[in-house]
Amino acid sequence: MDPNRDAKAPDEGYSDAAKGVIAMARFAGARGWVPATSGNFSARIDGHRAALTATGANKAELTEAGVIDVEIFGSKHPRASAEAPLHLARYRNAPQIGAISHIHSMAATVLSRRHEKTGHVRLEGWELLKAFSGIATHETVLDVPVVSNDQDTDRLADIVEQRLAMLDSAYGYLIAGHGLYVWGANAAETIRHMEAFDFLLSAQLHEEGPR
């Protein structure tokens, strides 16, 4: 049987994924989570390709011109951002992931640095933990991994993937002093998870207070 028999035509698959990337980017951009052209967004097209934001694009006003078609197992796309390896490593290791957002929201950035030595930010007892797929009660402890920042993003992706491989489930992770990676089965779920993380990390930051 032809393995591509049920697959969408390539352009249609790319177009759907690019729409998801634009939706995530504009959502984050409207909330001030990707200042100064930072942040990046991607959506899986199939087992081998993903749509990804090109480097430097203004995410709040992203259009399809700012989205590129990249190979998950291939060599680096000339317009890919330096953080592309962190997206692609997730797609290689987690087939259930359909979309990924990377944002520099204030609460994520502050808490990630504060909890770098502990290696995680603990979110516990908040009702909004139920916004994450598979969590049904506020009586939940979610330890969000924190890894140290590294400008060598291939090396950083290896460290992240080793860390995530030890966990039963994860919705995202923090890079210290940098920001948040968050994912879901598709762009809509990733937007929900991104909004939940921002709310929960903001609540956690308020509860901890200034230091």
- Number of residues this chain uses to bind Zn ion (CB under 5 A): 1
Q: How far is the CB of 125 from Zn ion (least distance, A)?
A: 29
Q: How far is the CB of 119 from Zn ion (least distance, A)?
A: 19
Residues 11-50 that bind Zn ion (CB under 5 A): none
CA distance 185 to 48: 16
CA distance 16 to 7: 13
Q: How far is the CB of 104 from Zn ion (least distance, A)?
A: 6
CA distance 1 to 195: 42
Q: How long is the chain?
A: 211
Q: Quick one: 29 or 179, whose CB is closer to Zn ion?
A: 179
Q: Quick one: 66 or 179, whose CB is closer to Zn ion?
A: 179
CA distance 75 to 89: 13
Contact 40, 207 (CB under 8 A): no
Q: How far is the CB of 37 from Zn ion (least distance, A)?
A: 11
CA distance 86 to 91: 9
Residues 173-192 that bind Zn ion (CB under 5 A): 179
Site track for Zn ion across 133-172, x = CB under 5 A = ----------------------------------------
Q: Quick one: 152 or 208, whose CB is closer to Zn ion?
A: 152
| Angle formed at CA 190 by CA 184 and CA 191, multiple of 5 degrees | 165
CA distance 32 to 40: 13
The dihedral of CA 120, 126, 130, 134: what is its sign?
Answer: positive
Task: Name the residue number minimizing CB distance to Zn ion.
Answer: 179
Q: How far is the CB of 1 from Zn ion (least distance, A)?
A: 42
Q: Quick one: 101 or 204, whose CB is closer to Zn ion?
A: 101
Binding site for Zn ion (CB under 5 A): 179
